[in-house]
């Protein structure tokens, strides 16, 4: 990872929107949303910023998207109903 941070008023940050598509999707599904910050720069609100040191720590750990971790389903809307009825 050779991503250089942007710097504004001494804050080193990464914009999620400037990342490749795959990495954007992974961040939105696995990165703690309370660590996504907003920066007002030149009267524009940048609402998709991550502190550079948080991004580096996140990037050092392998991640699996939450949607990929979910249990496989055959798509049946009745699947959950049968499980509930089987134990009554």
Within a domain: 11: yes
Instruction: Say if residue 38's pLDDT is above 60.
Output: yes
pLDDT band at 62 (very low <50, low <70, confident <90, very high): confident
Task: Report yes or no: 31 and 56 within 8 Å, Cβ to Cβ.
Answer: no
- pLDDT for res 51: 97
- DSSP summary character for residue 11: E
Within a domain: 39: yes
Beta-sheet strand order (sheet of 6-8): 6-8, 11-15, 44-51, 36-41
Within a domain: 30: yes
Within a domain: 85: no
Nearest-angstrom CA–CA distance, 88 and 64: 36
When comparing pLDDT for 74 and 19, which is higher? 19
C-alpha count within 13 angstroms, C-beta hemisphere, residue 30: 20
Domain enclosing residue 17, as ranges = 6-60
What does pTM read for this prediction? Answer: 0.67
Number of structural domains in the chain: 1
pLDDT band at 63 (very low <50, low <70, confident <90, very high): confident
């Amino acid at each position: 990872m050779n991503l250089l941070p942007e710097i504004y008023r001494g804050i080193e940050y990464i914009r999620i929107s400037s990342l490749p598509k795959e990495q954007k999707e992974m961040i939105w599904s696995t990165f703690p949303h309370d660590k996504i910050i907003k920066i007002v720069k030149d009267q524009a609100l940048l609402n998709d910023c991550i502190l550079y040191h948080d991004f580096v720590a996140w990037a050092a750990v392998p991640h699996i998207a939450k949607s990929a971790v979910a249990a496989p389903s055959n798509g049946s809307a009745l699947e959950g109903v049968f499980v509930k009825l089987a134990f009554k």
